[in-house]
Structure 1
Amino acid sequence: MISTQEYSALPDAASLQRLSKALAVLDAINSQDVEYRYYTYNAAWGEGEEVLEMSDGEGDQMLILFRPEGCVINGYLDGYDQPDKAKVTRGLPEVFDDFIFGEPVNSIGTTFCLWYTPEHGWQTGVVENEDDGSEELLYMLDGNPETYAEWADEYYGDETERSPSEVEAVAKIYRGETLTKATVLGIVDELEDWAQLEEDLQGIGYPYDFS
């Protein structure tokens, strides 16, 4: 499992950014109502900045900021003690300060933090409590399409008669392939609003061709 104790399986920033967009695309397909999505992606967060947000609607949140210099992950798990933020961010590159110490991260809270730069790879600050819940949020970042497919079938398929997601359809999106109607229908049996999905894809910055 990926956690602040063992994060060698995390992909580099470029690969994580591609995966983050894929997770947002998949959730946009699985739920056209943004209220029920876990993963959303904003390709226009700020100048040169893009952000993945994970929220379970019950207090747990994860934000990943992507910049040309690398990326940083802020995780907050409801019910866990918040550590000394100065310690868990010790060594954080200054370029990420405005994000980690500004809003909305400051109001959300921080139970763990990791960052990546090409020079040093993945790093974290001082982790005094191994039980920080990080593996509960980071496990989806393993790059395995089956991980998402299994989770989505349980979360979005609960109490419904929808078909299981095709793992190969998920894999195509993980690889960043242009999204087609056939791939979408490998994730869900039908889609009510294709125009809404197009709008979501534009906000994510993901290629598609529904012709």
Structure 2
Amino acid sequence: MISTQDYRVLPDAAALKTISKALAVLDAINSPDLEYRYYTYNAVWGESEEVLEMSDGEGDQMLILFRPEGCVINGYLDGYEQPDKAQVTRGLPASFDDFIFGEPVSSIETTFCLWYTPAHGWQTGIIEIEDDGSEELLFILDGNPDTYAEWANEYYGEDTDRSPMDVAAVAKIYQGETLTRAIVLGIVDEMENWLQLEEDVQAIGYPYDFSSL
């Protein structure tokens, strides 16, 4: 299981960006209502900056910033003991300072932090509290389509009669394939608002072609 104690299977920044966009696209398909999505992606967060946001609506949040220098993950889990932020971010490259020490991260707070640069790979600061809940948020980033399908079938399919999603369709999105109507209908039984999905996918910066089945 991925955590701040063992993050060897975390992909590099480029692969993680692909996974992050896939998560946001999949959630946009599964939940036309933004309020109920876990994962959203902003491809124009700032100049040369893109961000994945995870929010469970109950206080837990994760933000991943992508910059030319690499990426950084800020996680916050409600109810967990808060570490000294100066320690968990010790050694953080200066290019990530404005994000980690500015808003909205400062208001969200920080339970754990990891960052990636091409020169040094994944790193963390000083971990004083091993039980930081990072497993609960980082598990989805393993790059395995089955991981998302299992989670989403439970989260979006609970107490409904919707069909389990086609893992092969999930895998196509994980691989960055152009999103088509056929792929979408492998995720959900029907899509009522294709225009809304088109707008969401554009905001994510993901390729699509809804011209035909």
Q: TM-score scaled to structure 1, two decimals?
A: 1.00
Paired with 1:189 and 1:68, the residues of 2 have a C-alpha distance of 38
Q: Matches of residues 99-118 of structure 1 in structure 2 within 5 Å?
A: 99-118=99-118
Alignment-mate amino acid for residue 179 of structure 1: L
Per the alignment, residue 141 of structure 2 pairs with 141
Paired with 1:55 and 1:165, the residues of 2 have a C-alpha distance of 22
SS at match of 2:115: strand
SS at match of 1:54: strand
Percent identity between the two aligned chains: 82
- Runs of at least 4 residues of structure 1 off by over 3 A? none
Per the alignment, residue 64 of structure 2 pairs with 64
Alignment-mate amino acid for residue 58 of structure 1: E
Q: Displacement, 1:108?
A: 0.2
Per the alignment, residue 170 of structure 2 pairs with 170
Q: Matches of residues 9-158 of structure 1 in structure 2 within 5 Å?
A: 9-158=9-158
Per the alignment, residue 161 of structure 2 pairs with 161
Q: Displacement, 1:79?
A: 0.2
**Structure 2 unpaired stretches of 5+:** none
Per the alignment, residue 204 of structure 1 pairs with 204
SS at match of 1:146: helix
SS at match of 2:42: strand
SS at match of 2:63: strand
Residues 73-107 of structure 1: per-residue CA shift (max 9 Å, x gap): 00000001110000000000000000000000000
SS at match of 1:171: helix
Alignment-mate amino acid for residue 204 of structure 1: I
SS at match of 2:157: coil
Alignment-mate amino acid for residue 172 of structure 1: K
Paired with 1:22 and 1:128, the residues of 2 have a C-alpha distance of 33
Residues 133-168 of structure 1: per-residue CA shift (max 9 Å, x gap): 000000000000000000000000010000001000
Paired with 1:64 and 1:178, the residues of 2 have a C-alpha distance of 23
SS at match of 1:156: helix
Residues 57-82 of structure 1: per-residue CA shift (max 9 Å, x gap): 00000000000000000000000111
Q: How many positions carry a matched residue from both structures?
A: 211
